[in-house]
Structure 1
Amino acid sequence: MTKTAEAGAAPARGARAVPRSVWALGFVSMFMDISSEMVHALLPIYMVAVLGTSVLAVGLIEGIAEATASIVKVFSGALSDRIGKRKLLAVVGYGLGALTKPVFPLAGALEWLVGARFVDRIGKGIRGAPRDALVADVTPPALRGAAYGLRQTLDTIGAFTGPLLAMGLMWWTANNYRLVFWLAVIPAFVAVAVLVFCVREPTLPAAARPPKLPLRRSELVRLGAPYWRVVGIGLVFTLARFSEAFLILRAEPAGLAPMWAPAVLVVMGLAYALSAYPAGVLSDRRPRLDVLLVGLALLVAADLVLAFAPGLVGLGVGVALWGLHMGFTQGLFNALIADSAPAELRGTAFGVFHLLTGLALLLASVIAGALWDAVGFQGTFVCGAVLAALTAAGLLVLRRKA
């Protein structure tokens, strides 16, 4: 494994021991998420209530957008392995995301919004795998759970700050969607500036880079059986969840006014942010699969509450449980990938993982939207609970064999 100035020291404990570049990447994610969620917290409602789009179409658009990002990730991850320049690709990806933000307030039709959403997700795809691999490049193995948890926490602070700002600005501007979308442009460009000036990238020796195209079959075989087991777990898990847009849409049957719908993402993001770092630290000290099982149990509970608990209290509890399940799973999967993949193929490993789970998310979101339109929100969340429970059962079998 390549050692860097940041990763070569003896492992320490606590957030202060996490390398500075990981902190900087966390703040980059935070500012970009503030920008993105200011837009995305309002976009599903804007599309359904203002533009007359169906819920199934929202699910299809969200799923395809995320799948597009996942497809791009596999190529950007492989390219970052080949050229050894992860930060460059991250700058391109975040820069592209920032440049799409002015399109949302300027768009006059659904086609423009969908186009901007896709280009934004392409930017996410370009930056995702190189950024995740860069975190592993600069972090000692004993701190990987904490590092990914910390980055995820800062990312999630942005994820709930954005909807909170959107909600306040909607009140202040008397539901002026376009003005809120314009203000979302500012933190996107702040994110790019932090990435350019504050993140240090270690230089990987030429010998550590794959000599051939990383996506060749011979290179993918080198990823090894432990890596592919993690991918299999991630695939089944992703089928059990779907786009957070459905949490926003769940707010209306619970009696929440459209102006306050972004509060759903605020509650989810707060629970996510509070749990991601502690879960990451816990996974450095306990078997990661045990922590993942806790996350699956939280997802089952969230789905059941959202399906059957009435009113705003049920909505709040279900969304909070959903956020906790995210905290106990998302950073953990990144740590599992970093643990199982060879250092010189980390970008490829993250890219392949994101590609396959993104396709699974597309399928999950389409199924969720179809069930919602056919039988209501209860069918969507009950289906999610059943799939999550089956995933947990399979993981228990795998854990016993291991």
Structure 2
Amino acid sequence: MQPSATTQTGNWVNNSAGYQVLLVFLLSLNFGIVFFDRQALNVLMPSVQPELGLTQTQIGIIAGGLSFSWAIAAFFYGRLSDSIGKRKILLVLATLAFSFCSFLTGLASSFALLLGARLLMGAAEGGVMPISHAMVASEVDPKRRGLAQGVAQNMGSNLLGSFAAPVVLVAFAHAFGWREAFFLAGIPGIISAIIIWFMLKEPVPLPKPVEAEKSMTIPEAIKVRNMWVCVVVGVLMVGHFVTTWAFMPLFLVQERGFDETTASWLMGSLGIAAFVYSFAVSGLSDLIGRKPVMVVLPFLSVLGPLGALYFDGPAYLMAGIFVVGWAVNGIFPIFMATIPSESFDARHHATVLGLAMGSCEILGGVFGPPIAGALNDAFGNSTFLWMLMVLAVISGFVAMALKETAPAVVARRGLAPAVA
């Protein structure tokens, strides 16, 4: 499929509105399938742990290992797609690769084999989001960039990864076995890769940067205030996110006494919440600014861990507490993609987005779960919840240093956008 009448306008290509919607929808669907695969092990862990005899520390190492290879891949794919200008083919290859790794996970018979399969999966999945966000940044009208990037990152990932994965895979595993559930999880990625290949075009390359622009290094990029703030908040909040999904399903079953089906629906409530917030928070940030939502929502997120610790009411009210606290998920595309893409020239987008996402994953995603697992082994299985609250509060304070980048807000205040 080709878009109607495209023209290059500044830092983006003026595609038809229909093509922009199609692009964002397919990229969101694809990333949803990525997260369906990634979340599969977390939601199936109550079945996997007893068979493989995993400790809490080993569970954290597996989650952190996937984040490590994801982060390395995010750096690599971001730079590679910027240099060769071929985003679609890289996206298709990465999608096929992570589907294959889901099959490998279902074959694992020990901690070492399971860790190896997840490391390979992270290496395949890590390039998907930097490339997707770079495509959105160059193909979608900047006036709708916050909403578009929020939908691309959050809608599919939360509807499929955070809602469908717990509900569908736990039910499927009870009927057929947890290994068969991983085989099921690998199929949608193959279908998605085929659809992307035939329905999306290769983005029109932007003009090559002059030599001075090419020389921007990662240390130079990190000196930009918004970049280092996004990296610090990202490290803390990705650690928060990955740790939540690594240990909350086990905590709800083993410590709070919920059956696996009820726990899967409680975890699925996070997906429904984040699906709504993918529109609401990103769209709200286009109107009122990136900074307000980046500051307020981390503080609000402490409700989730507090509810898991102390709330003794019915499960549906527990789900309501989770839904309110999980509004913080709506800021993820803002600090990973929107603010960095609004703070740098478009010709560096894939590189700086890879830096933002890679830093978050390699520091927050890699170290968060093993630290939480070790703390759980040392002090009890509820310790990770206190760690989540500390990470969230620090994030809110750090976000206060942001410089506003939302185009509508910047224009309303009569400020010149700062682009490095």
Residues in 2 aligned to 1:187 and 1:386: alpha-carbon distance in whole angstroms: 37
Q: Is the contact made by 2:240 and 2:392 (CA closer than 8 Å) also made in structure 1?
A: yes
CA distance in 2, matches of 1:190, 1:364: 33
Indicate whether 1:332 and 2:342 are aligned.
Answer: no
Q: How does 1:363-382 map to 2 (within 5 A)?
A: 363-382=367-386
Q: Which moved more, 1:363-372 or 1:276-285?
A: 363-372
Q: Does 1:288 align with 2:290?
A: yes
Does structure 1 conserve the Cα–Cα contact (< 8 Å) formed by 2:31 and 2:129? no
Q: CA deviation at 1:320?
A: 2.6
Within a 5 Å distance, the mapping from 1:86-101 to structure 2 comes to: 86-101=87-102
260 and 383 in structure 1: CA distance in 2 versus 1, 3 angstrom threshold: same
RMSD over aligned Cα, in angstroms? Answer: 2.8
1:2 paired residue number: 11
Whether the 8 Å CA contact 2:64–2:366 is kept in 1: the answer is yes
CA gap 1:2/1:228 in 2 versus in 1, 3 angstroms: same
Task: Give structure 1 stretches of 5+ with no counterpart.
Answer: 10-15
Amino acid at match of 1:343: A
Mapped to 1, the partners of 2:89 and 2:321 lie a distance apart of 39
Equivalent AA in structure 1 for residue 377 of structure 2 = D
- SS, match of residue 4 in structure 1: strand
> What does residue range 64-75 of structure 1 map to in structure 2 within 5 Å?
64-75=65-76
Tell me what 2:309 maps to: 307
Map of 2:418 onto structure 1: none
Correspondence 1:342 to 2:314: no
CA offsets 1:120-179 (integer angstroms, 9 cap, x no match): 110011323112211111111110111022222122111111222113223433xx2222
Matched residue, 2:54: 53
Shift of 1:55: 0.9
Look up the match of 1:351. 354
Asked whether the 8 Å contact 2:12–2:137 carries over to 1, the reply is: no
Between the aligned residues of both structures, percent identity stands at 22
Residue of structure 2 equivalent to 1:85: 86
Of residues 284, 287, 298, the one that matches 2:300 is 298
Residues 171 and 259, structure 1, Cα contact 8 Å, conserved in 2: no
Instruction: Name the TM-score, length of structure 1 as normaliser.
Output: 0.87
Question: What's the CA shift string for 1:27-64, capped at 9, x where partnerless?
Answer: 2223343444445421x223422111001110122012
1:298-326 alpha-carbon deviations (Å, 9 max, x no partner): 22222222233236637534533453221
Contact 2:282–2:331 (Cα < 8 Å) also in 1? no
| Superposition map of 1:390-401 within 5 A | 390-396=394-400
Structure 2 residue 212 is matched with structure 1 residue 208? no
| 1:1-400 equivalent positions in 2, closer than 5 A | 1-6=10-15, 18-42=20-44, 44-151=45-152, 152-159=154-161, 160-173=163-176, 176-205=177-206, 207-209=207-209, 218=217, 221=220, 224-243=224-243, 244-252=245-253, 253-310=255-312, 313=315, 315-326=318-329, 328-333=330-335, 334-358=337-361, 359-396=363-400
1: distance between equivalents of 2:145 and 2:341? Answer: 8
CA distance in 2, matches of 1:343, 1:268: 33
| SS across alignment from 1:255 | coil
Partner of 1:12: none
Q: How far apart in 1 are the matches of 2:51 and 2:293?
A: 42
Q: 1:210 to 1:350 in 2, by over 3 A?
A: farther
Alpha-carbon distance change, 283 to 166 in structure 1, aligned in 2, over 3 angstroms: same
Matched-pair contact (CA < 8 Å) for 1:271–1:320: yes
Quick one: which amino acid aligns to residue 169 of structure 1?
Answer: F
Instruction: Measure the CA separation in 2 of the matches of 1:347 and 1:116.
Output: 27
Q: Quick check: 2:234–2:360 contact (8 Å CA) kept in 1?
A: yes
Query: Which amino acid letter does the alignment assign opposite residue 384 of structure 1?
Result: L
Relative to 1, partners in 2 of residues 1:319 and 1:357: Cα closer, same or farther, differing over 3 Å? same
* C-alpha spacing 1:362/1:306, structure 2 compared with 1 (3 Å): same
C-alpha spacing 1:240/1:105, structure 2 compared with 1 (3 Å)? closer
**Alignment check: 8 A CA contact 1:93 1:123 kept:** yes
Q: In 1, Cα distance between the equivalents of 2:106 and 2:306? A: 37
Cross-structure match for 2:6 = none
Higher mean C-alpha displacement, 382-391 vs 26-35 = 26-35
The CA distance in 1 between the partners of 2:14 and 2:401, in whole Å, is: 40
Cα distance 1:179–1:103, how it changes in 2: closer, same or farther (>3 A)?
same
Alpha carbons of 1:220 and 1:374: their partners in 2 closer, same or farther (altered >3 Å)? Answer: closer
**Contact 2:32-2:160 within 8 A present in 1 as well:** yes
- Contact 1:67 1:361 (8 Å CA) reproduced: yes
Segment drifting more, 270-279 vs 19-28: 19-28
User: Which has the higher mean CA deviation after the structures are superposed, 254-263 or 51-60?
Assistant: 254-263
Spell out, residue by residue over 1:230-283, the C-alpha distance to the aligned partner (whole angstroms, 9 max, x if none): 323323444555431111122121111235543343111111111111111111
